[in-house]
Amino acid sequence: MKRIVLFASGSGSNVENISNYFSNNSEVTIAAVLTNKNNAKVIERCNQLNISALYFNRHAFYTSDCVLDILKNINPDLIVLAGFLLKVPEKLVKNFPNKIINIHPALLPKYGGKGMYGMNVHNAVKTNNEQETGITIHYVNENYDEGAIIKQAKTPVSATDTTDDIAHKVHELEYKHFPKVIDSLLHG
């Protein structure tokens, strides 16, 4: 049995998409979803999906070994950041080498780094009149959005696209590619 732990900070749409993708796969389980926001909508989604959801605060993540101990106890095959906004501490990266992946809503190295998430990214793409954007799935290292790239997928951006249009196109790429990449990493 392959075990996945998901980290999320927001609505959990990628968590739900990943859960649905693996729902009929008896060889893969989502062991838990961890969130740094006690009011995140991902908690409601987890309740509906019958997935364990755990909230942790900054101290548990950065100062103590609480989150690290939870992860060691679960012993996941893969840790997936699915809309998770905090920088992963070095101790987690070192304890789970090449086992933590992230999805970023742009074609890295463009529009990566601290503060570049969600609509901030899409606004930058629009402001800079980019002709394409996309997603980057990458390993997590000690720096924001600088880990080795696993996969990129692109979508065109037209001059008439609003930032909401861009966000929609990027979400479609996330939903299509992220679960497949997770599956291939688990069974690769």
pLDDT at 1 over 90: yes
Compute the mean pLDDT over every residue in the chain, rounded to the nearest whole number.
Answer: 96
Query: Which residue among 104, 122, 171, 187 is the active-site one?
Result: 104
CATH 3.40.50.170 fits 2-187, yes or no: yes
104 is catalytic: yes
| Burial annotation 149-164 (CB, 10 A radius, 16+ → b, else e) | ebbbbebebeeebebe
pLDDT at 188 over 80: no
pTM for the whole structure:
0.96
- pLDDT tens track for 94-120: 999 999 999 999 999 999 998 999 999
- pLDDT tens track for 122-133: 999 999 999 999
- pLDDT tens track for 56-68: 999 999 999 999 9
Side-by-side strand order, sheet with 53-55: 53-55, 28-35, 2-8, 78-81, 100-104, 132-139, 149-156
Q: Which helix (H) or strand (E) holds 20?
A: helix 13-22
